[in-house]
């Protein structure tokens, strides 16, 4: 490689560094590969070509490697940490050619296996599609960097840990419309566990708070959209048709969401244990807090999502951290949506963003809901944020069920054919008529999935308190067929 300085940064890597070096040399016999030893007191590599007299730590080691590349008058630095395991054969010259012939690419990295320790950067995980893809950021693990780009923003500040160098690099790449690329054709496994993470996080915040005011400004998890990009997404939302699941807590929203997901409906890139989209869940909870309501003290919410946030919400739901017009245009090519019982209270807000939404209201026997709320609440410790003294009273849970049903029914007339109600008990028992109604509404094949689930999830009959203890003031038990 004529334009690239290839180097492994080693600290006490010993045999692992040696294996890494030897394997790369077998695949790339004509390439000079160097090893910088960062003053290892033990387990020193036998292939050391450059030696630090004192430990400059990871941050200093990265800066040392950059300076060595510049001293050798190279355009690019191929930086490799000593704690990676090579999975696929890597042609270093081929990697160099990818970045040389496209001036807009400032960083090119190989992908990581799903079991790698850097999985908190999900965009770095191999997608299994044997493709080259643009990402919002790449950590410095096995990567080629365009050195002139580092000079454009003045280089990296002093940092022992080096945490934040990759953030800052990707931040400027976004600002200057440059590309960071992941090569899914080759994989490495990264097993270097970060020790003493607390002081590294503290150092990152201290170093970059001084430079940017708030270190989260440069975080790759922070999505940056300009006015035109956000406007494009907002306008696109008016044409999208998400499936929004509403319904009382403990009424089957999770069950229904998991069925739809198995049928091919995209329910979110990042979900909680109940299969709810974390992005929409967070927004819903913030709206409750802002209005003074809560899950157990509900009320209809008619706030509006600020347009400059809607684009970010949509991108995060799909796991996108960069604006990509083709990705936005293809959102409705597959069914998608999200579930959250709080949607029952915030639905007007979401309908203002997605006026063509398809709503599914799933309901369950109010006495069963009250019993389920009571049982789950009883399992929580008194100190838990999930514990509620109100739910110790089953009648409170039953009254809460009535309030959620009343909220759900308030949308029915306005939405017409875009509002669909389904009974949890019929669904979980595999009622064919109910399943066919749902299939017709969504245009999806659901019967095999639901029948398979019904064998395992079928609810057993329960004895509830005497009906007289539940005040069915709204007549919902009779209306929904639970009593005659």
Total-model pTM: 0.79
Would you give the distance in Å from CA 396 to the centre of its chain? 35
Q: Report the relative pairing of strands 179-190 and 105-112 from DSSP bridges.
A: parallel
Return all residues near 301 (Cβ < 8 A) that are at least 6 apart.
287, 288, 291, 293, 345, 346, 348, 349
The pLDDT assigned to 456 comes to 58
CA distance readout (Å), 132 to 78, 95, 166, 181, 283 = 18, 11, 20, 7, 33
Element (H, E) at 134: strand 132-135
Residue 186 CA: distances (Å) to CA of 130, 230, 356, 369: 8, 34, 41, 50
Q: Per-residue b/e over 22-53, b at no fewer than 16 CB within 10 Å?
A: eebeeebeebebbbbbbebeeebbebbeeebe
Asked if residue 366 lies in contact with residue 395, where contact means CB atoms within 8 angstroms, the answer is no
* Residue whose tokens read 């607390």: 198
- For β-strands 33-37 and 76-81, DSSP reports them as unpaired
Burial 411-446 (b: 16+ CB within 10 A, else e): beeeeeebbbbbbbbbbbebbeebbeebeebbebeb
The pair phi, psi for residue 298, each rounded to 5°, is -80, 160
Rounded to the nearest angstrom, the gap between the alpha carbon of residue 404 and the centroid of all alpha carbons in its chain is 29
Residue with tokens 């990296």: 156
What is the percentage of the chain residues whose pLDDT exceeds 70?
A: 95
HEC string for 1-50: CCCEEEEEEECCCCHHHHHHHHHHHHHCCCCCEEEEECCCCCCCCCCCCE
In the numeric block, which tokens belong to residue 254?
Answer: 């999770």
Q: d(Cα 276, Cα 64) in Å, to the nearest integer?
A: 45
| Sign of the CA dihedral running 225, 229, 234, 239 | negative
Contact 272, 278 (CB under 8 A): yes
- Using an 8 Å Cβ cutoff, are 112 and 189 in contact? yes
**Alpha carbon distance 121, 270 (integer Å):** 12
**Which residues, including other chains, have CB under 8 Å from residue 324's CB and lie 6 or more apart?**
134
The SS3 call for residue 347 is: helix
Decide: 185 and 97 in contact? Cβ < 8 Å.
no
d(CA 147, CA 62): 12
pLDDT tens-place string over residues 330-364: 999 999 999 999 999 999 999 999 999 999 999 99
The residue ranges of the chain whose pLDDT is under 50 are: 460-461, 465
Instruction: Report how far residue 371's alpha carbon sits from residue 449's, in angstroms, rounded to the nearest whole number.
Output: 27
Q: What is the pLDDT of residue 119?
A: 62
Helix, strand, or coil (residue 314): helix
Integer Rg of the chain from CA: 28
**Secondary structure of residue 202 in the 3-state scheme:** helix
- What is the signed CA dihedral for 52, 56, 62, 64, rounded to 10 degrees? -40
- The closest of 257, 263, 265, 348 to 300, measured between CA atoms, is 348
Give the β-pairing of 33-37 and 50-51.
Answer: parallel
Domains of the chain: 4-218 (3.90.550.10), 230-479 (3.40.50)
Cβ burial of 241 (10 Å; 0-12, 13-18, 19+) is middle
Spatial distance between the Cα atoms of 187 and 135, rounded to a whole number of angstroms: 16
Q: Which distant-in-sequence residues (6+ apart) come within 8 Å of 457 by Cβ?
A: 255, 428
Task: For residue 187, give the 3-state DSSP assignment.
Answer: strand
Per-residue model confidence (pLDDT) at position 461: 47
How far is 446 from 430, CA to CA, in rounded Å?
A: 11
Handedness of CA 86, 90, 93, 94 (dihedral sign): negative
């Amino acid at each position: 490689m004529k334009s690239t300085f290839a180097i492994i940064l080693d600290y006490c890597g010993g045999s692992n560094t040696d294996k890494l070096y030897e394997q790369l040399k077998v695949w790339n016999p004509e390439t000079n590969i160097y090893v910088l030893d960062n003053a290892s007191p033990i387990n020193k590599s036998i292939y050391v070509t450059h030696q630090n007299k004192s430990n400059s730590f990871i941050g200093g080691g990265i800066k040392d490697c950059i300076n060595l590349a510049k001293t050798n008058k190279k355009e690019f630095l191929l930086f490799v940490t000593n704690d990676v395991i090579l999975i696929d054969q890597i042609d270093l010259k081929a990697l160099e050619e990818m970045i040389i012939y496209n001036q807009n690419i400032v960083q090119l990295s190989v992908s990581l296996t799903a079991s790698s320790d850097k999985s908190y950067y999900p965009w770095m995980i191999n997608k299994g599609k044997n493709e080259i893809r643009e990402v919002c950021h790449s950590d410095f693990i096995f990567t080629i960097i365009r050195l002139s780009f580092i000079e454009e923003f003045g280089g990296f500040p002093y940092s022992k840990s080096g945490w934040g160098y990759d953030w800052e690099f990707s931040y400027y790449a976004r600002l200057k419309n440059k590309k960071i690329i992941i090569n899914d054709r080759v994989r490495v496994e990264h097993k270097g566990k970060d020790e003493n993470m607390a002081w590294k996080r503290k150092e990152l915040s201290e170093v970059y708070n001084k430079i940017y005011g708030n270190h989260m400004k440069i975080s790759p998890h922070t999505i940056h959209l300009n006015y035109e990009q956000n406007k494009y997404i907002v306008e696109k939302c008016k044409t999208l048709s998400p499936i929004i699941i509403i319904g009382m807590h403990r009424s089957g929203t999770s069950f229904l969401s998991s069925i739809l997901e198995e049928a091919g409906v995209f329910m979110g890139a990042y979900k909680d244990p109940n299969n709810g989209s974390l992005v929409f869940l967070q927004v819903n909870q913030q709206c409750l807090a802002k209005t003074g309501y809560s899950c157990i003290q509900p009320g209809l919410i008619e706030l509006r999502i600020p347009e400059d946030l809607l684009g970010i919400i949509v991108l995060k739901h799909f796991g996108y951290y960069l604006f990509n017009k083709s990705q936005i245009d293809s959102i409705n090519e597959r069914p998608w949506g999200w579930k959250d019982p709080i949607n029952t209270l915030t639905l007007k807000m979401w309908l203002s963003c997605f006026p063509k939404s398809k709503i599914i209201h799933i309901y369950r026997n109010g006495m069963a809901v009250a019993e389920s709320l009571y049982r789950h609440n009883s399992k929580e410790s008194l100190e838990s944020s999930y514990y509620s003294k109100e739910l110790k009273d089953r009648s409170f849970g039953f009254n809460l069920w009535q309030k959620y049903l009343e909220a759900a029914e308030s949308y029915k007339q306005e939405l017409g054919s875009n509002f669909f109600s389904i009974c949890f008990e019929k669904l979980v028992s595999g009622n064919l008529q109910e399943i066919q109604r749902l299939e017709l509404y969504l245009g999806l094949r659901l019967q095999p999935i639901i029948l398979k689930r019904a064998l395992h999830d079928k609810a057993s009959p329960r004895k509830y308190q005497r009906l007289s203890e539940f005040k069915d003031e709204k007549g919902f038990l009779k209306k929904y067929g639970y009593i005659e």
